[in-house]
């Protein structure tokens, strides 16, 4: 009966053109939590609140540096056990606090390479905690792109082992399709597998994360689908294209993010590429004209790099003159006859000179 109801709901939704609106509105609520007289807001939604109880706060970080605005009332506890998962190894905590008050943080060892734990003492009023590295790279650094794992989760450790073996990789970004259906169980499993990865993993969602509650479990686990952060002189803008479109609300955010990124090296990531290099396949936006609208926006803002997933192979091309890479090599049903196989991408960046080089790392050549 449940399956029939879902099928009827799916039919009823045929023809809805605002398909990503609900997720965009959910993005606006990510990173906010309240218990008693204590509230916590992660600035720009760059983290998901995993757990909050009196005196306990657990966060999944969605960026190398996050800011948590804590407001403590008189009846809220001063001491909080703060756990931040998915953090850089050199992440630290400091705070901006009201005048005539004090902030204290005692570090405890985390259980994972990317887990940080502190016992913080919050003053009354509003405190802004900054969690992340105190210094960012001034020379070349590297990040990796890994997408489209899906049913290959049983073998994903092969890929993590290769990434861990590269000491230059600072973090991994992902263009989505971590799971086949986006269920809580599958996302839990994905996070469990991530525990062996020594660097943080910052994903947007893919269309396969929309197979359950239209993407809500992803946002509960891994936070926003559309967001941006800056690290090492480079801006990363993640867009939710899981429905083969960008919601108008996200276009509104994108205007501001593109303006911010104009003076920086700027990479834009999303799951479904605006244009499929093989157009008859339609592994692209539902509307070719919307694809061109988006690419025109990115080109006008001098975006330096576009990164995509969705197509389970590797393609290097240009869209609107912007270098573009499709890397869907996480192991999901591979595109045959392409000679690619499982792989991930590495990108070397210099804060002054921009993108230095992009390379494909094959895990098991087809």
Partner 1 sequence: MRRLFLVSIASLLALGARSASAETGAPAAPAPTHGATATPAAPNDETMPADDTRAEECDSEQPRRSVALSAAGTALAIVPGALVHGTGHLVVGDTKTGLRLLALEGAGLGVLATGFIPIVLSGASRRLIGPAAALSAAGVGLFAISFLADIYGVVAPAGGVGAPMLNAPSLVAAIGYRYVYDPVFAYRNFMVQEIDYRTGSWRIHPSAWFAFDDTNARLRAHFAYRLTGPRPLGHPESPDGSFVDLEAAITRHAFTSNRFSTTTAEVAVAGRLDMARIGPSLRGSFAEMSAGLATQAYSYAIRGTTADLGELLLVRFGFGMYIGFPGNPRGEISLYYDHRHDDYAAGLKLTGLGSGVAGHFGADARLYLTRQWGVAAEAAVGSAYITGLSILFRHGGPL
Cβ atoms of 285 and 279 within 8 Å: the answer is no
Using alpha carbons only, what angle is made at residue 274 by residues 182 and 330, rounded to the nearest 5 degrees?
A: 45
Strand-pairing partners, residue 49, are 59
Q: How far is the CB of 4 from partner 1 (least distance, A)?
A: 13
Question: Can you give the C-alpha Rg of the chain in angstroms?
Answer: 20
Binding status of residue 5 toward partner 1 by CB under 8 A: no
Least Cα distance to 91 among 229, 200, 220 occurs for 200
* Region binding partner 1 by CB under 8 A among candidate stretches 107-115, 166-174, 238-246, 252-260: 238-246
CB of 344 to partner 1, least distance (A): 18
The smaller minimum CB distance to partner 1, of residues 197 and 272, is found at: 272
Q: Which two structure tokens, joined as six digits, stand for 258?
A: 């593109």
Residue of 85, 89, 21 lying closest to 48 (CA atoms): 85
Interface stretch with partner 1, choices 41-49, 114-122, 309-317, 347-355 (CB under 8 A):
309-317
CB of 335 to partner 1, least distance (A): 4
Instruction: Print the binding letters for residues 199-228 with partner 1: x by CB under 8 A, - otherwise.
Output: --------xxxxx--x--------------
Pick 72 or 208: Cβ nearer partner 1: 208
255 is an interface residue for partner 1 by CB under 8 A: no
Q: Which is nearer to partner 1, 111 or 279 (CB)?
A: 279
Tell me, residue by residue from 317 to 336, as one string, x for binding to partner 1 by CB under 8 A and - for no binding. -xxxx-----------xxxx
Residues 355 and 265: beta-carbon distance below 8 Å:
yes
49 in Cβ contact with 57 (< 8 Å)? yes
* Shortest distance, position 181 Cβ to partner 1, whole Å: 8
Non-local (6+) Cβ contacts of 129 within 8 A are: 67, 68, 69, 70, 82, 93, 94, 95, 103, 120
CA 208 to chain centre: 15
Q: Does 286 bind partner 1 (CB under 8 A)?
A: yes
77 phi, psi to nearest 5 deg: -65, 150
Q: Does 288 bind partner 1 (CB under 8 A)?
A: yes
Name the residues that contact partner 1, by CB under 8 A.
10, 13-19, 21-22, 181, 207-211, 214, 242-248, 251, 272, 275-293, 295-296, 299-300, 311-313, 318-321, 333-338
């Amino acid at each position: 009966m449940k399956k029939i109801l879902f099928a009827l709901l799916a039919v009823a939704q045929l023809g809805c053109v605002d398909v990503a609106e609900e997720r965009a509105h959910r993005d606006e609520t990510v990173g906010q939590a309240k218990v008693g007289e204590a509230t916590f807001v992660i600035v720009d939604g760059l983290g998901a609140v995993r757990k909050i109880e009196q005196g306990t706060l657990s966060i999944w970080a969605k960026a190398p540096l996050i800011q948590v605005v804590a407001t403590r009332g008189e009846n809220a506890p001063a001491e909080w056990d703060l756990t931040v998962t998915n953090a850089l190894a050199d992440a630290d905590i400091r705070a901006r606090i009201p005048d005539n008050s004090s902030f204290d943080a005692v570090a405890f060892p985390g259980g994972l390479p990317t887990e940080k734990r502190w016992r913080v003492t919050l003053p009354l009023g509003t405190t802004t905690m900054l969690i992340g590295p105190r210094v960012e790279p001034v020379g070349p650094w590297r990040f990796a792109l890994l997408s489209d794992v899906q049913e290959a989760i049983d073998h994903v450790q092969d890929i993590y082992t290769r990434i861990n073996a590269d000491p230059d990789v600072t973090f991994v970004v992902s263009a989505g399709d971590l799971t086949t259906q986006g269920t809580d169980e599958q996302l839990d499993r994905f996070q469990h597998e991530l525990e062996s990865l020594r660097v943080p993993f910052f994903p947007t969602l893919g269309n396969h994360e929309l197979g359950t509650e239209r993407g809500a479990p992803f946002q509960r686990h891994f936070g926003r689908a559309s967001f941006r952060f800056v690290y090492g002189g480079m801006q990363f803008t993640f867009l939710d294209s899981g429905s083969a479109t960008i919601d108008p609300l996200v276009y509104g955010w994108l205007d501001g993010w593109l303006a911010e990124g104009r003076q920086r090296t700027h990479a834009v990531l999303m799951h479904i590429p605006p244009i499929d290099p093989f157009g008859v396949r339609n592994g692209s936006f539902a509307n070719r004209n919307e694809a061109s609208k988006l690419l025109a926006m990115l080109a006008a803002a001098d975006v330096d790099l576009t990164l995509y997933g969705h197509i389970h192979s590797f393609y290097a091309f240009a869209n609107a003159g912007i270098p573009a890479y499709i890397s869907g090599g996480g192991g999901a049903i591979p595109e045959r006859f392409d000679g690619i196989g499982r792989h991930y991408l590495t990108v070397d960046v210099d804060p002054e000179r921009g993108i230095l080089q992009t390379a494909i790392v094959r895990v098991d050549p087809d």
